[in-house]
Amino acid sequence: MRKMPTLLAPAGSMRPFLTALRFGADAVYCGAKQFGLRAQAQNFDENQLAQCVRLAHEKGVQVNLTLNIFAFDQDLDGMVCAAKAAKETGVDAVIVSDLGAIHRIAREVPGLDIHVSTQANTTNSESARVYKALGALRIVLARELTFEQIEQMARELGDEIELETFIHGAICMSHSGRCMLSSFMNGRSANRGACSQPCRWTYTLHERTRMDEPLPIEEDARGTAILSSRDMCMMDHLPRLMESGVSCFKIEGRMKTEIYIATVVGAYRRAMDAYAADPKAYAGNAALKGQLRAELDKVSHRVYDTGFYFGMPKVCGEAVGVVQDAEYMGYVVDVSGGDALVEMKNRFFVGDELETVTPMGSEKLIVEDIVLDATGEHVGVVNIPNTLVRIPCGGKLNTGDMLRGPVRNRA
């Protein structure tokens, strides 16, 4: 019987990390303060990373550390030192893209697993074997591969080396994320972790003889990001993924909030578990599949597609802005005495019908009362984000759960 793939979740700070553990990740990948490709995330210092490793290992969850910048000579000693510190902390694997860094870490930090980053753009079995010979345990496949190519690589490689593939999240419009646009426009290198995402900006056209007459490219009131790709969503194709021979499914999003992590990780966790328990029953359960797919529409995202899995994806420029079917209302800090202590994120009122977000799924919750934690005052609404309030929850919530509600027009 084929081994069930693992689910790898992102975390850019402590709360998303704890959320990934709570909502069913088998492993979490995160960055240190240096050498990763998400420099704008909060990331983790050595003490925080040690805490993450301890908490994850208590739950049988692995921690992977990103060291995947495009490295210069002056970076390599530091990357090796970071890898040594990671191993001493108990990190399970480092994710590396640079060939020289892989070679040195394998040689100088024996016993630390190496995963070859998608930035290395591995698209064939021979390349995978070369990385294995250098000491790599896993290849994070290039995002440009189709289902057929991934399945062929899995058959060709067998148990020689593990394969990992992205299944959900924002996708860079450049080849395996190797983009120079941010460096060119404002000196912030995407390949060094400082991407300013100029592909998401709004642009206009100029006809060369009329440079003083900008022509807007409008698809809705917010304009359009003409270079921006859609987001990937492979929930509808989970059975084929499960049978593809891939060892690990990766969710993008180290800049995402805890509500995103909870929703996306939770949905894929429930889908994977249901399929593993009974593939035929899962295939025939349209209600469950529809429910899990609908979950993914409730978080902020660009229009979904399937990346390169079925050939060339949709053209850039069609993913205009972001959409979501629900809004993040609050994070449950504590539960006691039948009430939930909630850190409010967006305004909600007494009488509102909200939804719980828990590892087991969601259910309706009517807000019967709102009490300011600081003063004990009963109020009808709270307008200041991050205010702590108490609401009755009827046993429907636990610490680390969340609340969401309808998207309101703030105009």
Please state, in angstroms and rounded to a whole number, the distance separating the CA atoms of residues 157 and 276: 23
Give domain status of residue 195, yes or no: no
Tens-digit pLDDT profile for residues 137-160: 999 999 989 999 999 999 999 999
| Total-model pTM | 0.87
Q: Are residues 244 and 376 in the same domain?
A: no
Q: Are residues 90 and 169 in the same domain?
A: yes
Give domain status of residue 96, yes or no: yes
pLDDT at 319: 43
pLDDT at 194: 58
Q: Residue 370 belongs to what domain range? A: 327-405
Please state, in angstroms and rounded to a whole number, the distance separating the CA atoms of residues 329 and 347: 7
Q: Which two tokens stand for residue 11?
A: 């975390």
Give buried/exposed letters for 152-168 (b at 16+ CB in 10 A, else e). ebbeebeeebbbbbbbb
pLDDT at 151: 98
Work out the number of other CB atoms within 10 angstroms of the CB of residue 39.
17
Residue 7 has pLDDT above 80, yes or no: yes
The whole-number average pLDDT for the span 390-410 is 92
The CATH number assigned to the domain holding 352 equals 2.40.30.10
The half-sphere exposure of 382 on its side-chain side, counting CA atoms within 13 A, is 24
CB 114 within 8 A of CB 102: yes
Please state, in angstroms and rounded to a whole number, the distance separating the CA atoms of residues 343 and 48: 22
Percent of the chain beyond pLDDT 90?
71
Strand partners for 372? 389
Write the CA distances from 189 to 30, 183, 226, integer angstroms. 19, 4, 20
Lowest mean pLDDT among 192-196, 347-351, 361-365: 192-196
Q: Which two tokens stand for residue 66?
A: 């990103």
Q: How confident is the model at residue 337 (pLDDT cuts 50, 70, 90)?
A: confident
Tens-digit pLDDT profile for residues 276-332: 999 999 999 999 999 999 999 999 998 899 989 998 776 554 445 688 999 999 999
Give domain status of residue 208, yes or no: no
Percent of the chain beyond pLDDT 70?
82
* Structural domain total, the chain: 2
Give domain status of residue 218, yes or no: no
pLDDT at 168: 97
Residue 94 identity: V
Q: Are residues 332 and 261 in the same domain?
A: no
Q: Are residues 266 and 349 in the same domain?
A: no
Give domain status of residue 184, yes or no: no
Q: Judging by beta carbons within 10 Å of its beta carbon (0-12, 13-18, 19+), is residue 225 exposed, middle or buried?
A: buried
Residue where a domain stops, chosen among 253, 274, 305 = 305
Q: Are residues 283 and 166 in the same domain?
A: yes
Please state, in angstroms and rounded to a whole number, the distance separating the CA atoms of residues 395 and 9: 28
Q: Are residues 268 and 159 in the same domain?
A: yes
Lowest mean pLDDT among 37-46, 130-139, 191-200, 303-312: 191-200
CA dihedral of residues 50, 55, 58, 62 (deg, nearest 10)? -70
Q: How confident is the model at residue 187 (pLDDT cuts 50, 70, 90)?
A: low
Q: Are residues 162 and 254 in the same domain?
A: yes
Give domain status of residue 221, yes or no: no
Please state, in angstroms and rounded to a whole number, the distance separating the CA atoms of residues 197 and 126: 33
Q: Are residues 248 and 360 in the same domain?
A: no
pLDDT at 323: 87
First to last CA, the chain: 55
Across the chain, which distance is largest between two alpha carbons, in Å? 71
Tens-digit pLDDT profile for residues 250-261: 999 988 999 999
pLDDT at 8: 98
The whole-number average pLDDT for the span 14-26 is 97
Q: Are residues 140 and 78 in the same domain?
A: yes
Please state, in angstroms and rounded to a whole number, the distance separating the CA atoms of residues 66 and 329: 31
Kind of pairing between the strands at 204-205 and 6-10: unpaired
Q: Are residues 249 and 104 in the same domain?
A: yes
Residue where a domain stops, chosen among 247, 273, 305 = 305
HEC per residue, the chain: CCCCCEEEEECCCHHHHHHHHHCCCCEEEEEECCCCCCCCCCCECHHHHHHHHHHHHHCCCEEEEEECCCCCHHHHHHHHHHHHHHHHHCCCEEEECCHHHHHHHHHHCCCCEEEECHHHCCCCHHHHHHHHHHCCCEEECCCCCCHHHHHHHHHHHCCCCEEEEEEEEECCCCHHHCCCHHHHHHCCCHHHCCCCCHHHCCCEECCCCCCCCCEECCCCCCCCCCCCCCEEECHHHHHHHHCCCCCEEEECCCCCCHHHHHHHHHHHHHHHHHHHHCHHHHHHCHHHHHHHHHHHHCCCECCEECCCCCCCCCCCCCCCCCECCCEEEEEEEEEECCEEEEEECCCCECCCEEEEEECCECCEEECCCEEECCCCCEECECCCCCCEEEEECCCCCCCCCEEEECCCCCC
Residue 172 identity: C
Residue 240 has pLDDT above 70, yes or no: yes
CB 305 within 8 A of CB 313: yes
Q: Are residues 89 and 15 in the same domain?
A: yes
Tens-digit pLDDT profile for residues 70-118: 888 998 999 999 999 999 999 999 999 999 999 999 999 999 999 999 9
Q: How confident is the model at residue 58 (pLDDT cuts 50, 70, 90)?
A: very high
Give domain status of residue 384, yes or no: yes
Q: Are residues 271 and 334 in the same domain?
A: no
**337 vs 280 pLDDT, higher one:** 280
Residue where a domain stops, chosen among 305, 338, 359 = 305
The CATH number assigned to the domain holding 21 equals 3.20.20.70
| Mean confidence (pLDDT) of the chain | 88
